[in-house]
Amino acid sequence: MKKVIVFGMSVVLLWSCNNSTEKSTAHQETENHAGHQHDENSEAIELNNGEKWLVNEEMKPFVLKGEELVNAYIQGGKTDYKTLAEQLKDQNSQLIKSCTMDGKSHDELHKWLHPHLDIVKALENETDATKANGFVLQLQYSYQHYHQYFN
């Protein structure tokens, strides 16, 4: 089982490296509606002088709910990844609508959010269940990555 997980994470990392400069249409549209700008080049997230960035309280429930959905999907051995993708899109839309952040913390959050939205879009468009499971693992890793940089 550990070998499968390690293999899956390797695939995730290779895939994300190959797709780090692509930008999803859904994210472009969402950001255009929200009035946000985003650099085409994906950059590494920076800490706030060694500390995690603070995320506004009104935004946190949507990140946490998305993470909860992914974890429940994995732990429950679920297979309806299309429904999961729709649920995550809804949480992400609400997250973006609730955004009142600005400055460096906002910019750093977008460095996490952009690739995250790309993974959700890839999951939504996937037709192969095995590949979809890889995207679900990428999403789980994405939420772990979020917690490394944001409070």
Name the pLDDT band for 42 (thresholds 50, 70, 90).
Answer: low
Cα(4)–Cα(104) distance, integer angstroms: 38
Candidate from 12-21, 55-64, 116-125, 136-145 with smallest mean pLDDT:
12-21
- Are residues 27 and 117 in contact, defined by beta-carbon separation less than 8 angstroms? yes
Share of the chain above pLDDT 90, in %: 72
Give Cα separations from 90 to 9, 39, 120 (angstroms): 26, 23, 11
Indicate if the pLDDT at residue 111 is higher than 50: yes
Cα(33)–Cα(35) distance, integer angstroms: 5
Model-wide pTM > 0.85 = no
